[in-house]
């Protein structure tokens, strides 16, 4: 699923409000400009994609949503690339959205730049020159491969959980699918 900048803002709002937000939080946020209709559409979209759930009168960020940008077991470089797929950002904004220290982000973006996965671009903004990070084609391919690996891990977990109740034909079919994915990953 592709996220856009507004999706990111909703998820970030939830993360900064201890995992859930309500109507008052929305009204006091950068999302207030959306209006009722667009806000409801976006919330419905995020709920359909299992990124938000309704918890009483609050909207809670699901574990699936947290895993995209904030899971500590996901490498920080991967989380940075996922964020930059949505929008080119300054390092300070990357640190803000990922809830990571600025110096850590500086170090990681430099590593990504040296690997050719991001580039630094200077732009004029409000009569000043700023430097933003932009994902390269190689960076996008890297995040896509990470998504495929995640899919493979989920399939392996599923096989392990169901192996006792599956017949040998199903196990063989599933293993063939995994081999095909593995070949695609190179």
For residue 3, how many C-alpha atoms fall within 13 Å in the half-sphere facing its CB? 25
Which is nearest to 86 in space by CA: 144, 146, 123, 134? 134
The CA-CA-CA angle for residues 56, 64, 44, to 5°, reads: 50
Task: Say whether 72-135 and 5-66 share the same fold.
Answer: yes
Res. 24 pLDDT band, cuts 50 70 90: very high
CATH code for the part of the protein at 5-66: 1.10.10
pLDDT digits (tens, 9 = 90+) for 130-179: 999 999 998 888 887 765 665 666 666 666 666 666 677 777 777 777 77
Please say if the pLDDT value at position 1 is more than 80.
no
Q: Span 104-128, mean pLDDT?
A: 92
Ordered by start, the domain boundaries in the chain are 5-66, 72-135, 138-185
pTM (predicted TM-score): 0.77
Correct CATH for 72-135 of 2.40.30.10, 3.40.50.2000, 3.80.10.10, 1.10.10.10 = 1.10.10.10
The predicted-structure confidence for 76-102, as pLDDT tens digits, reads as follows: 999 999 999 999 999 999 999 999 999
């Amino acid at each position: 699923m592709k996220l856009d900048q507004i999706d990111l803002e909703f998820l970030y709002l939830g993360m900064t409000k201890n995992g859930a937000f309500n109507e008052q939080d929305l009204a006091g946020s950068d999302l207030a400009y959306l209006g009722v209709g667009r806000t409801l559409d976006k919330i419905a979209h995020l709920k359909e994609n299992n990124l938000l759930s309704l918890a009483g009168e609050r909207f809670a960020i699901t574990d699936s949503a947290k895993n995209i940008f904030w899971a500590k077991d996901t490498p920080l470089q991967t989380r940075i690339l996922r964020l930059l797929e949505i929008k080119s950002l300054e390092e300070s904004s990357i640190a803000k959205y990922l809830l990571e220290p600025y110096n850590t982000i500086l170090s990681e973006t430099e590593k990504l730049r040296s690997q050719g996965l991001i580039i630094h671009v200077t732009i004029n903004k409000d009569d000043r020159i700023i430097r933003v990070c932009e994902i390269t084609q190689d960076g996008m391919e890297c995040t896509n491969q990470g998504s495929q690996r995640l899919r493979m891990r989920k399939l392996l977990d599923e096989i392990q959980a169901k192996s006792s109740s599956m017949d040998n034909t199903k196990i063989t079919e599933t293993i063939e699918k995994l081999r095909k994915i593995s070949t695609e990953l190179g």
